[in-house]
Amino acid sequence: MCLKALRKKADEVKAGEICALVGLEGFEIGDTVADVENQEALKSIAIDEPTMSMLFTINNSPFYAKEGKFVTSRHIKDRLEKELEKNLALRLGQTGSADSFMVFGRGVLHLSVLIETMRREGYELQIGQPQVIFREIDGVKSEPMEELTIDLPETDAGKAIETVSMRKGEMVNMEPKADRMILKFMIPSRGIMGLRNYLLNVTAGEAVVTHRFKEYQPYKGEIPGRINGSLIVMEQGDAIPYSLHNLQDRGKFFINPGEPVYEGQVIGEHSRGGDLVINVTKTKKLTNMRASGSDEKMKIAPPLKHTLEEALEYIQADEYVEVTPKSIRLRKIYLNENERKRDRNRGGSNA
């Protein structure tokens, strides 16, 4: 039976019954509706404050508006403001630009759920690198700490402990369970970014990683980030199998042969530190002695495809995740190599 048919006006409701109040404006979560003559408020509900921020901006790549319906800054702003009404831990801030917005949430997973929902609804947007929110508590720089639990095979426990320790994590408990080990740590929120993907690779997908916000503690110091640079497209076109085959020794690719790419797009991870600009749209030069049919013998390794959450954790400060209803791409903020060099000289995000 339709619930709408069961609705009726009531003069009073009792504990345990469900009701709707119509006509109230300007109220917040935790407010108490009371009798005017007998005003007695209940204790307000405490809502955890955001611990991480991300930059949301319009998609201005060469593939703009090819896959999405809602692509303007007005579309994105209206959608984020609508989300604030029901997403209690979300906050929205201004950036000084009409095309971008600073969104504050409870972590990468919290914000990636919002982004995934938006892309399924037909939105196109670009997301900047997640940034942890620091606070000044009693004159001391403090950062959010998470309670991290890792359930993994006992043989891989040593690698996990070493990796978490490098990310300023402190072990609080180790419990064996059959042929597995359950490890518990206190770790800065910064240290969790990219950790899940690494542990899944090390354990061949057997690790189970969970974490939750615990409290703010004094800043734990620098955490080493991604060492390897990015493989960046030189010019727009389709990725040619011949070029991908010849460039495989330069690193791991994120794209398939024949996939359209554009200048400034990040299509792989460099095998060394520092970014490398490559041309994957170059075709094989044919002569009387060389035929195109010989390309059939080439072997190209399968690409590494990121999920949305993995992409957000992977990017550097000078990169965006381009999100559309059909695609997730990585790109540099400045698509042109000369613009990136000027930005480095200014001490910008590339520095």
pLDDT for the residue 346:
82
pLDDT for the residue 283:
81
Whole-angstrom CA distances from 89 to 46, 51, 195 are: 11, 10, 24
Start-end of H helices in the chain: 3-6, 73-84, 108-120, 157-166, 189-192, 195-202, 241-246, 308-314, 337-345
User: What mean pLDDT is predicted for residues 13-32?
Assistant: 80
What pLDDT, in 10s, does the model give residues 82-99?
A: 999 888 889 999 888 889
Mean pLDDT of the chain: 87
Pick the CATH number of 52-132 from 3.30.70.870, 3.10.450.50, 3.30.1360.100, 3.40.50.300: 3.30.70.870
With a CB cutoff of 8 Å and minimum separation 6, the contacts of 96 are: none
- Poorest-pLDDT segment among 205-214, 220-229, 273-282, 295-304: 295-304
What pLDDT, in 10s, does the model give residues 78-137?
A: 999 999 988 888 999 988 888 999 999 988 888 999 999 999 999 999 999 999 999 999
User: Residue 24: which pLDDT band, with cuts at 50, 70 and 90?
Assistant: confident
Q: Which residue has the higher pLDDT, 162 or 346?
A: 162
Within this chain, domains 52-132 and 230-345 share the same CATH topology: no
Residues in the chain: 351
pLDDT > 80? residue 264: yes
pLDDT > 50? residue 1: no
pTM of the model: 0.79
pLDDT for the residue 291:
53
User: What mean pLDDT is predicted for residues 140-150?
Assistant: 93
Q: Which residue has the tokens 């400060």?
A: 317
User: Residue 343: which pLDDT band, with cuts at 50, 70 and 90?
Assistant: confident
Start-end of H helices in 186-307: 189-192, 195-202, 241-246
- Poorest-pLDDT segment among 10-14, 145-149, 314-318: 10-14
Q: Which fold has domain 140-218?
A: Alpha-Beta Plaits (3.30.70)
- % of the chain exceeding 70 in pLDDT: 93
User: Residue 286: which pLDDT band, with cuts at 50, 70 and 90?
Assistant: low
- % of the chain exceeding 90 in pLDDT: 54
Q: Is 136 helix (H, G, I), strand (E, B) or coil?
A: strand
User: What mean pLDDT is predicted for residues 132-157?
Assistant: 92
User: Residue 176 and residue 159: Cα distance in Å, rounded?
Assistant: 16
Name the residue ranges covered by the structural domains of the chain: 52-132, 140-218, 230-345
CATH number of the structural domain 230-345: 2.40.50.250
- Poorest-pLDDT segment among 3-12, 219-228, 244-253: 3-12
User: Residue 25: which pLDDT band, with cuts at 50, 70 and 90?
Assistant: confident
Please, what is the angle between helix 195-202 and helix 157-166, to 10°? 160
User: What mean pLDDT is predicted for residues 45-63?
Assistant: 88
